[in-house]
């Protein structure tokens, strides 16, 4: 296992289009009663100062600073994968959420996970279906009112 992240994985960008208002998306990203239904069961609370993620058993899955808190447009926070002992040893990376209204009541949501140069295992764990699993479930929850899985 290499100790540095391949260049093409150090900055990962994911996009999805969701029929929801920017406010609904913002709430779904920042409030635990929503995140518990699409983000691997994690109860995530984001305030202007802090990002906190708790597992179903109250274990701390994430605990990081918030760099930008601009409702309902842009959120930037640190990322540490504390749910896995090996990933937890890696340096902090960064996640940016951008919400842009499109036509017909649809928003474009862009997630950028960057600063992954020093976190190769995290980069591998979140790539592709990692983030797209979360974003697919977020879309299903907002459009149907039900979780994607279960």
Interface residues with another protein (CB under 8 A) are 8, 13-19, 103-104, 106, 108, 128-129, 132-133, 136-137, 139-140, 143-144, 148-150
Query: Nearer Cβ to another protein, position 85 or 145?
Result: 145
Query: Nearer Cβ to another protein, position 48 or 147?
Result: 147
DSSP strand E in the chain: where?
Answer: 12-19, 43-46, 50-54, 60-70, 74-79, 93-101, 106-114
What backbone phi and psi angles, to 5 degrees, belong to 97?
A: -110, 125
Residue linked to tokens 């797209």: 132
In the complex, least distance from residue 12 CB atom to another protein, rounded to whole angstroms: 10
Which tokens go with 132? 């797209």
Query: Nearer Cβ to another protein, position 14 or 83?
Result: 14
In the complex, least distance from residue 40 CB atom to another protein, rounded to whole angstroms: 13
């Amino acid at each position: 296992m290499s100790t540095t992240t391949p260049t093409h994985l150090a900055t990962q960008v994911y996009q999805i289009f969701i029929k929801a208002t920017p406010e609904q998306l913002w709430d779904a990203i920042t409030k635990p009663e929503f995140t518990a239904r699409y983000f691997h069961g994690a109860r995530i609370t984001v305030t202007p100062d802090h990002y906190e993620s708790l597992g179903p058993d109250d274990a701390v899955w994430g605990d990081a600073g918030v760099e930008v808190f601009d409702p309902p447009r842009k959120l930037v926070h640190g990322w540490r994968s504390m749910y896995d002992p090996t990933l937890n040893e890696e340096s902090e990376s960064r996640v940016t959420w951008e919400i842009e209204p499109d036509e017909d009541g649809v928003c474009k949501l862009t997630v950028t996970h960057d600063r992954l140069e020093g976190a190769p295992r995290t980069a591998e764990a979140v790539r592709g279906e990692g983030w797209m699993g979360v974003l697919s479930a977020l879309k299903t929850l907002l459009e149907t009112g039900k979780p994607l899985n279960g």
